[in-house]
Amino acid sequence: MKQHSAMKPTNFPLKTITVMAIILSVIGIMTTAFKARVSPGGNPESSKMKRDSLASVQAFMDVYKVLMSPRCMNCHPAGEAPLQGDDSHIHIMNVQRGKDGTGLYSAKCSNCHQPTNVPGEHTPPGNPKWQLPPGDMKMVFQGKTARQLAMQIMDYNQNGHKNKEQLLEHAHDTLVKAAWNMGEGRTPPPLTHEEFVAAWNKWIETGGYAPAE
Partner 1 sequence: MTPVSRRAFIRNTGGASIALWLGVSYDSYGGKTPDASLAKNFTPYILVESNGNITIYNTKPEMGQGTFQSIPALIAEEFEVSLDQVIIKQSNGEKELGNAQRAGGSSSIRNNYTDLRKIGASAREVFITAASTKWGVDVASCYAENGKVIHKQSNRKLAYADLLEEASKLELPKEPKLKDPKDFKILGKRIKRPDVALKTNGKAEFGIDAQVPGMLYASVERCPVIGGTLKSFDAGEALKIPGVEKVVETEKIMGRHHSVGVAVIANSYWTALQARKKLKIEWDTKGFETFNSVDFENRLRELAKEEGIIDKNTGAIETLNLPKENIVDAFYETPMAAHHTLEPMNCIAQVKGDQVEIWTSTQVPSSVTGNGANDLHKQIGFSPDNIKLHAKFIGGGLGRRLYIDFIIEAVNIAKQTDKPVKVIWSREDTTEFGPFRPMTFSQLKGGFSDDGKLVAFEHKVISPSYQESMRTDFDKTKVDKTMVEGIGEQAYEIPNIKTSFVRADFHIPVAAWRSVTSSTISFPHECFIDELAYKAKKDPMDFRMELLSKPSDTKRVLQKLREVSSWDKPLPKNKGRGVAQWEFFAGLCAQAVEVTYNEDRSIKVDKVYAVIDLGEVVSPDNVKNQVEGAIVMALGAAIKPGITFDKGVTMQHNFYDNPLIRINEVPEIEVHILAEGGKVKGVGEPGLPPFAPALANAIFAATGKRIRKMPFDIKSV
Partner 2 sequence: MITLNVNQKSYKVDVDPNMPLLWVIRDVIGLTGTKYGCGVAQCGACVVHLDGEAVRSCVTKVSRAEGKKIVTIEGLSQHNDHPLQRAWQEIDVPQCGYCHSGQLMSAAVLLRENPNPTDKDIDAAMAGNICRCGTYLRIRKAIHLAAEMQRKGK
Rule CB under 8 A: which residues touch partner 1? 92-94, 122
Nearer to partner 1, 48 or 105 (CB): 105
- Residue 59's nearest CA partner among 197, 176, 213, 178 is 197
CB of 73 to partner 1, least distance (A): 20
Query: Given the DSSP bridges, would you call strands 103-104 and 89-90 parallel, antiparallel or unpaired?
Result: unpaired
CB of 113 to partner 2, least distance (A): 8
Q: Is 19 in the site for partner 2 (CB under 8 A)?
A: no
In whole angstroms, give the CA distance from residue 189 to residue 186.
9
CB of 189 to partner 2, least distance (A): 24
Task: Extract long-range pairs of 119-123: CB within 8 Å, 24+ residues apart.
Answer: 119/184, 120/184, 121/183, 121/184, 121/185, 122/185, 123/183, 123/184
Nearer to partner 2, 47 or 106 (CB): 106
Q: Is 94 in the site for partner 2 (CB under 8 A)?
A: yes
User: Site for partner 2 (CB under 8 A): which residue of 14, 48, 105, 194?
Assistant: 105
Instruction: Give the total of residues touching partner 2 (CB under 8 A).
Output: 20
User: Site for partner 2 (CB under 8 A): which residue of 35, 51, 108, 129?
Assistant: 108
Q: Is 32 in the site for partner 2 (CB under 8 A)?
A: no
Q: Is 122 in the site for partner 2 (CB under 8 A)?
A: yes
Task: Extract long-range pairs of 197-202: CB within 8 Å, 24+ residues apart.
Answer: 197/171, 197/172, 199/59, 199/60, 199/62, 199/63, 199/66, 200/59, 200/63, 200/168, 200/171, 201/168, 201/171, 202/55, 202/56, 202/59
Q: Is 40 in the site for partner 2 (CB under 8 A)?
A: no
Nearer to partner 2, 117 or 152 (CB): 117
Q: Which stretch binds partner 2 (CB under 8 A): 5-13, 88-96, 146-154, 180-188?
A: 88-96
CA atoms within 13 A on the CB side of 96: 6
Write out the residues near partner 2 by the rule CB under 8 A: 92-96, 104-108, 110-112, 114-115, 118, 120, 122-124
